[in-house]
Every structure is written in C-alpha cells, then in structure tokens.
C-alpha cells in the first residue's frame, strides 16, 4: 500500500518500479505500508544503513588482508630465525664432536691404542 497525503488515498504500490512515480504522489508526501513511515526518510535510512554495511565490510576485508600479510611476514621471520638457530646448534654440535674425537685420539695415542693412520691394516702377531 502507498498512502498519499496530498489526496488522502491509499494506492496499490507500483511493483514494476522500485520508486513510485511522481505522477502518483511526490516522495515527500508518500507513506509506505503504515501511515507514519515517510517514503523519503525510508529511502535515506536504507541508503545510510547499506552504506555503513558496505564500509564496515570493506574495512574488515582490508584489515584482515593487512593482518594476514603482516602475520605471514612475521611467521617467515620466525622461521628464518629458527632455521639460523638450528644451523648454529648443528655447527656447535659438530665442533664439540670434533673436539671430543681429538681428545679421545690423544688418549688412545698416549696408551698406544691408536693405529697408524698410514697403515690401517696391520698383521696380528701371535706370541
């Protein structure tokens, strides 16, 4: 129902067009559904609500994209840092292993347990 204040009549709403034509009734005098809802105010209110929804969706999308990009870069930095630390620990471990081997070789050499590195194959002598 479209109520028109200029001639105080209730007209069937023209469903073929989104807005009623000005020949039927001007927007400032037209009321929609219930007599107290101004058609012009309804259109403005719906436009404002739709605009707020679109702006909030846009802001949320931009914020989420920015946060994801930032968190990805932060994760990449953390992965690089972990890889560097892992490599440092591996090198330290290899260094300690080499130092232990040298120390053990010195002890073996001291007690005559180290075989000659020039001749790894030696004959066993039976006494």
Give the model confidence (pLDDT) of 6-46 as tens digits: 777 777 776 777 777 777 777 777 777 667 777 778 888 99
Give the model confidence (pLDDT) of 81-123 as tens digits: 999 999 999 999 999 999 999 999 989 888 888 765 555 555 5
Residue 10 is inside which H or E element, if any?
strand 9-11
Record the pTM. 0.46
Q: Are 38 and 29 in contact (CB under 8 A)?
A: no
Would you kindly state where each structural domain of the chain is located, as residue ranges?
1-35, 40-113
Q: 88-119 burial, b for 16+ CB within 10 Å, e for fewer?
A: eeeeeeeeeeeeeeeeeeeeeeeeeeeeeeee
């Amino acid at each position: 129902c479209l109520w028109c204040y200029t001639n105080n009549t209730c007209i069937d709403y023209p469903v073929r067009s989104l807005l009623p034509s000005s020949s039927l009734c001007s927007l400032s005098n037209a009321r929609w559904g219930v007599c107290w809802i101004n058609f012009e105010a309804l259109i403005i209110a719906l436009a404002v609500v739709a605009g707020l929804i679109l702006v909030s969706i846009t802001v949320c999308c931009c914020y989420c994209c920015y946060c994801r990009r930032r968190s990805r870069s932060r994760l990449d930095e953390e992965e690089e840092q972990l890889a560097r630390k892992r490599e440092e620990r591996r090198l330290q471990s290899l260094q300690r292993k080499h130092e232990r081997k040298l120390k053990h070789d010195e002890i073996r050499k001291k007690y005559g347990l180290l075989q000659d590195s020039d001749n790894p194959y030696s004959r066993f002598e039976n006494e």
